[in-house]
Amino acid sequence: MANMRRLGAFAAFTTSAALLLAACSSGDGETTDPTDSPTNGEAEQSAEPVTLTWWHNAVAGDNGENALGDYWQTVADAYTAENPHVTIEIEQVQNEDLQRTRIPLALQSGDAPDLFQAWGGGELASQVESGYVQDLSETLADDIERLGGGVSPWQHEGSTYGLPFTFGVEGIWYRESLFEEAGITEEPATMDELNAAVQALKDADITPIAVGAADGWPAAHWWYNFALRSCSQDVMAAAGVDRDFSDPCWVQAGEQLEEFLGTEPFQDQFISTVAQTGATSSAGLVASGDAAMELMGQWNVFVYEGFTDGTDEGIAALQDDLGWFPMPATDGGNGDPSAALGGGDGFSCYVDAPPECADFLSFIVSDANQMEFTEATGALPVAPAAADAVTNPVLVELAQVAGNAEYVQLWLDTSFGTNVGGAMNDGIVSIFAGTGEAQDVVDLMTAAALTE
């Protein structure tokens, strides 16, 4: 359908039959020059120039530095050096805009980038069902096998529609010096221990936990973790597929959250606090030592670093004082206490993208490039062969937890897709704000699922 639309647009705006034909044959008429289909298979691609458009979320960060973005540029340069007929046009877009606005609209409009950021799960599944995404199962079979289980969020009904380049689990980041100050000697392993730690920190006049509830999702992740502990793996997996939230464990998750909120573990005005902007954001509070803990994914080490003065000593001092432990186990509940929530970033190819797209994606996640990726950005790679390149001790620990987890559940909002996920996050924020109840979250999710 998207093709029809674009075709219509061309018909209206070009009188040249040649152009019209080009638009039909190349599939991505506006940006890709017409390419003859490769005659000798994939290895020997036609020398006709091809332009790949690539949208990723690596925007310049806090001090104007953009390690990941710079790295992507070098990858693109390396690829185009090997394949001179390919030009890669990169557009970097801030994550929320990219995921929530730009990519969905671009896909619907039929004028989408060839290679674009994909977070896997329900969102990718709906894109697949709409026919927007290329099936890479056969073309990239070797890479899929090499990367292993981390690929599963990018798979749908047995086929693979994208590859991750980084994957990690979330847990609680904390400042070791503040724990020491409050006399906490052990990383909390159960909710009781976490509650005790919260109390100890309060007694020492330290804000126990920071949360950026104004952004919604940071608050929602607390609920996700309670749900992970109270719902069995089967219930969890089934919910991702048929969106059935009738199991009482979903309401229990909210009740556990309410109970936890009752202990007032979070900073003042957490509902007005954003996650990453400014010194008063939740990340800013932890980075400046105003708050002791924050529940966040593996990326947050980089966010914290953004609040240092940017010098090597400053970053080293922060990393030295930064600890991490997995989300504590709750009492009761059918969830596995070692299960972890996680997610990653990957890329998918648009359905009409030229074959060079898959080839380039394979290049991105090659063992050598995964290694370089880790060295350049410090982030966790997916390729097992690149694991040794991880140097940050917290990330090493995090990778171990991920490896030992009974199973890794993809972020629930990503897993359930935009609509149900959005309703879920809205409901959870209401619990945080004190205007909603545990049952509301489930009702909102159920209602959203019914509209699909």
Partner 1 sequence: MATAVKDDVKKRRSSQSRARTRLGGDSSIYVTIFVALIAVGLTLGPILFLGLGGFRTNGQIAEDPTGLPNPWVWQNYWDILTGSTFWEFTLNSAIISIATTAGVVLFGTMAAYPLARYSFRGREGVFLMFTAGLMFPLTVAIFPLFLLLQDLGLGGMWGLIIPQIAFALPVTVIIMRPFLAALPDELEEASFMDGLTRVGFFFRMVLPLARPGMVTVGVLAFLGSWNAYLLPLVMLTGRDAPTTLPLGVTQFQGQNAANFAGIMAYTFLAMIPALVFFLMMEKRIVDGLSGAVKG
Partner 2 sequence: MTALEASGTGTGPATDAKASVAGSTPVTPAAYNPRRDRRRKWLEIVIFVGPALLLFLVFVIFPMIMAARYSLYKWDSRQPFELAEFIGFDNYTRALMGGTDPETKEIFWKAYAQPFWNAVGNNAQIIALSMLVQLPIAMIIALVLNRKFPGRSSVRLIIFAPYVLSEVVAGLMWLMLLDPRGPVTEMLAAIGISDPAGGWLEDPQAGFWTFFFIVSWKYIGLAIILFLAGLSGVPPELQEAASIDGASWWQVQWRINIPLIGPTVRVWAFLSIIGSIQLFDMAWVLNKGGSTGQYSTIATLMVDIGTQRNDGGYASALAIIMFIFSMVAAITYMTIVMRRDNGARAGKGA
Q: Should residue 2 be labelled a site residue for partner 2 when binding is judged by CB under 8 A? A: yes
Query: Residue 326 touches which of partner 1, partner 2, none (CB < 5 to 8 A by kind)?
Result: none
The answer to whether 121 and 414 are in contact (CB under 8 A) is: yes
Query: Residue 440 touches which of partner 2, partner 1, none (CB < 5 to 8 A by kind)?
Result: partner 2
Identity of the residue, 131 or 149, whose beta carbon is nearer to partner 2 in the bound complex: 131
Identity of the residue, 127 or 166, whose beta carbon is nearer to partner 2 in the bound complex: 127
User: What is the Cα–Cα distance from 440 to 168, expressed in whole angstroms?
Assistant: 30
Identity of the residue, 53 or 370, whose beta carbon is nearer to partner 1 in the bound complex: 53
Identity of the residue, 3 or 46, whose beta carbon is nearer to partner 1 in the bound complex: 3
Phi, psi of 323 (to 5 degrees): -115, 170
Within 8 A by CB and 6+ apart from 193, the residues are 186, 328
Q: What distance lies between CA 298 and its chain's CA centroid? A: 10
Query: Residue 9 touches which of partner 1, partner 2, none (CB < 5 to 8 A by kind)?
Result: partner 1
Tokens read off for 256: 């556990």
Query: Residue 403 touches which of partner 1, partner 2, none (CB < 5 to 8 A by kind)?
Result: none
Q: How far is the CB of 97 from partner 1 (least distance, A)?
A: 7
User: What is the Cα–Cα distance from 79 to 413, expressed in whole angstroms?
Assistant: 34
Q: Should residue 101 be labelled a site residue for partner 2 when binding is judged by CB under 8 A? A: yes
Identity of the residue, 26 or 374, whose beta carbon is nearer to partner 1 in the bound complex: 26
Query: Residue 248 touches which of partner 2, partner 1, none (CB < 5 to 8 A by kind)?
Result: none
**Residue from 1, 17, 18, 81 that binds partner 2 (CB under 8 A)?**
1
Q: How far is the CB of 295 from partner 2 (least distance, A)?
A: 17
Q: Taking the CB of residue 336, how many other CB atoms lie within 10 A of it? A: 17
Q: Should residue 246 be labelled a site residue for partner 2 when binding is judged by CB under 8 A? A: no
Q: Should residue 276 be labelled a site residue for partner 2 when binding is judged by CB under 8 A? A: no
The answer to whether 124 and 153 are in contact (CB under 8 A) is: yes
The bridge status of strand 155-156 relative to strand 171-175 is unpaired
Q: Which parts of 185-224 interact with partner 2 (CB under 8 A)? A: 213-214, 216
Task: List Cα–Cα distances, 136 to 133, 143, 151, 349, in angstroms.
Answer: 9, 10, 12, 8
Tokens read off for 167: 């994957």
Q: Should residue 137 be labelled a site residue for partner 2 when binding is judged by CB under 8 A? A: no
For partner 2 (CB under 8 A), the number of binding residues is 43
Q: How far is the CB of 276 from partner 1 (least distance, A)?
A: 4
**Residue from 268, 377, 398, 404 that binds partner 2 (CB under 8 A)?**
268
User: What is the Cα–Cα distance from 246 to 253, expressed in whole angstroms?
Assistant: 13
The bridge status of strand 50-56 relative to strand 115-118 is parallel
Q: Should residue 448 be labelled a site residue for partner 2 when binding is judged by CB under 8 A? A: yes
DSSP string for residues in 350-379? BTT--THHHHHHHHHTSHHHHHHHHHHH-P
Within 8 A by CB and 6+ apart from 93, the residues are 55, 56, 57, 59, 102
Q: Where do we find the tokens 């008063």?
A: 280
Identity of the residue, 47 or 447, whose beta carbon is nearer to partner 2 in the bound complex: 447
Q: How far is the CB of 41 from partner 1 (least distance, A)?
A: 30
Sole window of 45-53, 121-129, 182-190, 337-345 interacting with partner 2 (rule: CB under 8 A): 121-129
Tokens read off for 189: 């392993």
∠ at Cα 310 (307, 313), nearest 5°?
A: 110
Q: How far is the CB of 122 from partner 2 (least distance, A)?
A: 10
Q: How far is the CB of 69 from partner 2 (least distance, A)?
A: 24
Query: Residue 218 touches which of partner 2, partner 1, none (CB < 5 to 8 A by kind)?
Result: none
Q: Which parts of 405-424 interact with partner 2 (CB under 8 A)? A: 417-419, 422-423
Q: Should residue 94 be labelled a site residue for partner 2 when binding is judged by CB under 8 A? A: no
Q: How far is the CB of 245 from partner 2 (least distance, A)?
A: 11
The answer to whether 108 and 6 are in contact (CB under 8 A) is: no
User: What is the Cα–Cα distance from 365 to 361, expressed in whole angstroms?
Assistant: 7
Please report, as ranges, the residues that interact with partner 1 according to CB under 8 A: 5-6, 8-10, 12-13, 30-31, 53, 59-64, 89, 91, 94, 96-97, 101-102, 105-106, 108-111, 113, 276-279, 281, 284, 288, 303, 306-307
DSSP string for residues in 44-82? B---S-EEEEEEE-----TTS--HHHHHHHHHHHHHHHH
Tokens read off for 116: 């674009």
Query: Residue 46 touches which of partner 2, partner 1, none (CB < 5 to 8 A by kind)?
Result: none
Chain residues that interact with partner 2, rule: CB under 8 A: 1-2, 100-101, 104-105, 108, 126-127, 129-130, 213-214, 216, 268-269, 271-273, 278-280, 417-419, 422-423, 429-430, 432-436, 440, 443-444, 446-448, 450-452
